[in-house]
Amino acid sequence: MPIDFHQHQNRYTYATRNADSGWAQAIQAIVAPHGALAEKRVADIGCGGGIYSLAWQALGAGSVRGVDFSAQMVTAAREKSAGVDNVSFSQGDATASGLEGESTDIVFERALIHHLKDYAACFAEARRVLAPGGLFIVQDRTPDDVALPGAPDHMRGYFFERYPRLLQVEAGRRPPVAKVEQAMRDAGFSQVQSQTLWEIRKTYPDFETLGKDLAARTGRSILHDLNDTELADLIAHIKSQLPANGPIVEKDRWTLWVGTKPS
Ligand SMILES: C[S@@+](CC[C@H](N)C(=O)[O-])C[C@H]1O[C@@H](n2cnc3c(N)ncnc32)[C@H](O)[C@@H]1O
């Protein structure tokens, strides 16, 4: 059964880690040619628990507004960002965000679009809220990103080796590169480009800590398609594939798409 983002029990599922410095470097490189980040207003749509809203703030964005359709996520994001300046959150849909027209310089949507049936309304909303010349940055995993084999530093690959049916779930929802590029152009964005990014998701001191995170399905919506028995089997399988000792660095490959709203 897919994750229900509106359930209280899932409130912190996208709030319990921090963004990786490799992500920050990739974003800096994209944004740098477009002027000082301190002058930029960023909207993080589908912000979850605010991990990346806070990462944009730490990068030096002038202001960050996180938007999510789940009241639970917005509550978690507000808790996580308590006391941090220039970051705020509101409830809104990716297709009707509640943000003012032309009120942002950067719209960022991470791990959102694979939850949407139709990108057109979402991308039209991004274009509406962006000021002319603004950047639209989408981050998600493509079917090719997802299908990479399992390895000690790419443990997500083990999910699909052990439970191939999960790959079918992913194939049905993950966006191919060209589909997103075309949807961006159709929504009126120019200079559309894409690139891949290896992002460290989290570093675990030992398997016990990782196993607890997996058992709670934290931040991994695909694991909601396994029942508890299957999940326990998967965790045992992953343990058998990883070195017995030492920290575990969990990495995933992502795709970043960037488009510009014409001036
Ligand atoms: C996989 S989580 C990603 C959270 C965050 N962007 C991150 O990368 O950590 C997807 C988020 O999108 C939100 N979401 C899904 N559909 C949405 C929609 N139609 N409008 C706004 N938010 C949505 C969910 O509530 C959830 O917080």
Per-residue pLDDT band at 66 (split at 50, 70, 90): very high
Closest ligand 1 atom to 73 CA: 27
> pTM value?
0.94
Instruction: Output 121 or 11, whichever has higher pLDDT.
Output: 121
| Mean predicted confidence (pLDDT) in 124-139 | 98
Whole-number pLDDT of residue 134: 97
pLDDT at residue 1 is higher than 80: no
Contact between residue 248 and residue 152 where contact means Cβ atoms under 8 Å apart:
yes
Instruction: Render pLDDT for 72-100 as a digit per residue (tens, 0 to 9).
Output: 999 999 999 999 999 999 999 999 999 99
User: Given 1.10.8.420, 3.40.630.10, 3.40.50.720, 3.40.50.150, which CATH number is that of 8-147+173-201+253-260?
Assistant: 3.40.50.150
Mutation test residue for ligand 1: of 44, 45, 68, the one with most atoms within 8 Å of CB: 68
User: 110 to each of 49, 202, 209, 228, how far by Cα in Å?
Assistant: 12, 16, 25, 27
Whole-number pLDDT of residue 109: 98
Closest ligand 1 atom to 6 CA: 25
Residue carrying the six token digits 């894409």:
194
Instruction: Render pLDDT for 157-197 as a digit per residue (tens, 0 to 9).
Output: 999 999 999 999 998 899 999 999 999 999 999 999 999 99
Whole-number pLDDT of residue 169: 92
User: 224 to each of 4, 81, 221, 227, how far by Cα in Å?
Assistant: 9, 27, 6, 7
Whole-number pLDDT of residue 24: 95
Instruction: Output 116 or 10, whichever has higher pLDDT.
Output: 116
Pocket of ligand 1 (CB under 6 A): 5, 14, 46-48, 51-52, 68-70, 73, 93-94, 110-112, 115, 221
Instruction: Render pLDDT for 26-35 as a digit per residue (tens, 0 to 9).
Output: 999 999 888 8
Instruction: Render pLDDT for 213-256 as a digit per residue (tens, 0 to 9).
Output: 999 998 898 999 999 999 999 999 999 999 888 899 999 999 99
DSSP secondary structure letters along the chain: ----TTSGGGTTTTTSS---HHHHHHHHHHHGGG--GGG-EEEEET-TTSHHHHHHHHHT-SEEEEEES-HHHHHHHHHHTTT-TTEEEEE-BTTB--PPTT-EEEEEEES-GGG-S-HHHHHHHHHHHEEEEEEEEEEE--HHHHTSPPBTTBTHHHHHHH-THHHHHHHHHSPPHHHHHHHHHHTT-EEEEEEEEEEEEEEESSHHHHHHHHHTTTT-GGGGGS-HHHHHHHHHHHHHHS-SSS-EEEEEEEEEEEEE---
Contact between residue 87 and residue 22 where contact means Cβ atoms under 8 Å apart:
no
pLDDT at residue 144 is higher than 90: yes
| Mean predicted confidence (pLDDT) in 112-118 | 94
pLDDT at residue 11 is higher than 90: no
Residue carrying the six token digits 């992913």:
170
Residues present in the chain in total: 263
Instruction: Output 149 or 9, whichever has higher pLDDT.
Output: 149
Q: CA angle, corner 16, sides to 226 and 87, nearest 5?
A: 130
Q: Pairing mode, if any, of strands 87-91 and 190-204?
A: unpaired
Domain ranges of the chain: 8-147+173-201+253-260
The span from the CA of 139 to the CA of 118, in Å, is 16
| Mean predicted confidence (pLDDT) in 16-41 | 90
The span from the CA of 156 to the CA of 250, in Å, is 8
Contact between residue 115 and residue 85 where contact means Cβ atoms under 8 Å apart:
no
Per-residue pLDDT band at 14 (split at 50, 70, 90): confident
Phi, psi of 47 (to 5 degrees): -75, -15
Whole-number pLDDT of residue 34: 83
Mutation test residue for ligand 1: of 112, 122, 169, the one with most atoms within 8 Å of CB: 112
Per-residue pLDDT band at 2 (split at 50, 70, 90): confident
